[in-house]
Amino acid sequence: MSYLEDFEKTLAEKCHQNEPPFCQAACPFRLDIKGLEEKWKKGRFNAAYRTYQNTVGFPDIVSKLCSHPCEKACLRAKLDGGIAIGLLERATVEYAKRKAPNAYNLPSKGKKIAIVGGGLSGLGCALRLCNKKYEVTVYEREMVLGGQARNQMDPAEFDAEIEAQFQFEEFSRHLGETVTDLEALRVDYDAVYVATGADGADFGLEMDPDGAFATRTPGVFIGGSLTGGDSMKALADGLAVSLAIERYLKTGGMNEPFRKEGTLLNLQTNGIERADRVVPANGESYTEEEAMQEIARCQKCSCDACMRACDLMRLHEKTPRRLYEEVYITIHPGTLSRDGTWATRLISTCDHCGLCKEVCPQHIDFSQFLLDSMRAMQKKGAMPWPFHDFWLRDMAYASGKAGLTRKPENV
């Protein structure tokens, strides 16, 4: 297989340009900090709140209870202190004016799901499934919802946040009821999620290694603190398991893909200017201006060495993946006439200096890919003549008798 034909596989296996930044990789919710950064730095707290809400489910609870491992993972933590994402999240909750969740006008799915455990994990799963109009029933052995997390903050604020996020949804609550017979639930429900907490019953369930949150019992899923982790991981599990349950209800498969862990980024602090962490004037929370100043320290971590070093990529303002896609549809046009010329100028712009390969941590040779692309276009007669005719004539002139410089006749 030629380098041209193998390039897509090379990008997929080696290019780290789309790898998540360190903060996102460390977050149990995989919160898109770079996406929030664009909103925070412009003071768009309503938009930031919506992104935050859609990711974590219960923004007020998470902003107060999360230990924010993202701050320790931040690239700046090694230099002058990680970005104060915890304070930024609290500022988002405080300064957002529109906090009501979306009201989804969807018909009922006609499927029933039982959730054993009314802690954060069970509530997160219930919220996502209710949003999609599944019929959800939560069984909780205590007389209140929330589990251990409810005791970690003001119970009144906790309850208010739960009610706020469920204000447009309905689900059945069986409080003070302990489930002892899982098989009985399976008879009445299409799927079951077991989230009984760190000290809860696991009903002898065995994990299925072929699917996220899946057990070897069809239709039964398990997660939350019962399988390890703090309350934030438990909530993240609950939000994510809803996808596994929905896949099962639609396809019958217990094979929801596992979430990718970590990141392959390998960046250093060399060349980063020192910028000390913004300290709140009141010692507790950011003003809107302080929040905007703090997020300005963000480096928006990404593997972009080729884009910073290569004039061609900077000129076209395109990522390696985007460049590849445009070159591919040029070589293999989908038009009826088969004469697509989407990226012919781009292909001809590269001077094949090899700098992209030199700076790339994975040594991906984009210049060789573009050279092979040019040869492929010329071979099928699809490369427009203006892109090379001038240079051929210029070379002939410079090498001819009329040229200013010629090879000495006696050499």
The pLDDT tens digits for 129-172 are 999 999 999 999 999 999 999 999 999 999 999 999 999 999 99
Does the pLDDT of residue 246 top 70, yes or no? yes
> Tens of pLDDT along 44-65?
999 999 999 999 999 999 999 9
Percent of the chain at pLDDT > 90 equals 70
Percent with pLDDT over 70 in the chain: 94
- For the purposes of burial, counting CB atoms within 10 Å of the CB of 138, is it exposed (0-12), middle (13-18) or buried (19 or more)? buried
Cβ atoms of 19 and 265 within 8 Å: the answer is yes
Q: Strand pairing partners for 116?
A: 139, 194
Q: Angle at CA 41, nearest 5°, toward 35 and 47?
A: 55
The separation between the first and the last C-alpha atoms of the chain, rounded to the nearest angstrom, is 43
pLDDT digits (tens, 9 = 90+) for 76-109: 998 999 999 999 999 999 999 999 999 988 999 9
Q: Angle 245-250-251 (CA atoms, 0-180°, nearest 5)?
A: 100
Rounded CA-CA distance 302/255 in Å is 31
Name the token pair of 103: 């009201």
Fold exhibited by the domain 21-97+281-295 = Fumarate Reductase Iron-sulfur Protein; Chain B, domain 2 (1.10.1060)
pLDDT of residue 257: 96
Note the CATH number of domain 112-251: 3.50.50.60
What's the whole-number average pLDDT of the chain?
Answer: 91
User: Boundaries of CATH 1.10.1060.10 in the chain?
Assistant: 21-97+281-295
Looking at residues 281-307, what average pLDDT do you find? 94
Q: How many CB atoms lie within 10 A of CB 404?
A: 6
- Distance, CA of 198 to CA of 220 (rounded, Å): 18
Nearest to 80 by CA among 301, 297, 295, 303: 297
- Helices 85-95 and 33-40, axial angle in degrees (round to 10): 60
Lowest mean pLDDT segment, chosen from 126-130, 178-182, 380-384: 380-384
Q: What is the mean pLDDT of residues 234-248?
A: 98
List the one residue out of 134, 136, 133 whose CA is nearest residue 123.
136
Give the residue from 197, 174, 215 showing the smallest Cα distance to 121.
Answer: 197
Q: What is the rounded average pLDDT of the residues 237-250?
A: 98
Residue with tokens 């906790």: 158
pLDDT category of residue 408 using cuts at 50, 70 and 90: low
